[in-house]
Amino acid sequence: MGHAAVWASISLWPKRRHTPLLRLTRTLGVINTMSSDGKQLETLVAFVERELLPPGFSVKSNERVFNDEGVQIAEFDIEVNGKVGSTTISWLIECRDRPGHGAAPGAWIEQLVGRRMRFGFNKVTAVSTRVRQKYR
């Protein structure tokens, strides 16, 4: 279902001020006006996570990481941080818009494993617009 179809189906629902459905409708309206460079997917995923996470969690988009010399060494699509009991959660979500043929390459998944280890994330999730391939 394309963004226009999603917009049409959600617009039929009753809209009450400050409801998650209304915020989703507004978010999808903004997404429809953006270029298709992966930022649309990031915006949608960040919105969904903000709505579903309990209070006390933060969701940051497009966070840049710099080394001690001020050189950018990474950029995280979506970073979720919070605390559950005595455990601190640090979760990276990376998004890829893959309009071409084929599933996400294995190299991308390997890169995410490296980011998890290097930057100390508890969890890393890959979100792609294409169906993933089976890895053996």
> Which H or E run contains 5?
helix 3-11
Cα(133)–Cα(4) distance, integer angstroms: 27
| Fold topology of 37-128 | Trna Endonuclease; Chain: A, domain 1 (3.40.1350)
CB neighbour class for 97 (10 Å; exposed up to 12, middle 13-18, buried from 19): middle
Upper half-sphere CA count for residue 4 (Cβ side, 13 Å): 0
Q: What is the DSSP letter of 136?
A: -
> Which H or E run contains 63?
strand 58-66
Q: How confident is the model at residue 20 (pLDDT cuts 50, 70, 90)?
A: low
Which has more confidence, 99 or 11? 99
How do the domains of the chain map onto residue ranges? Answer: 1-33, 37-128
| pTM, full prediction | 0.68
Strand, helix or coil for residue 125: strand
Quick check: 60 and 74 in contact, CB under 8 A? no
Quick check: 16 and 22 in contact, CB under 8 A? yes
State the average pLDDT over residues 17-34.
52
pLDDT one-digit tens code per residue, 35-76:
556 788 899 899 999 999 999 999 999 999 999 999 999 999
Quick check: 111 and 78 in contact, CB under 8 A? no
Listed in sequence order, the residues at least 6 apart from 26 whose beta carbon sits closer than 8 Å to its beta carbon are none
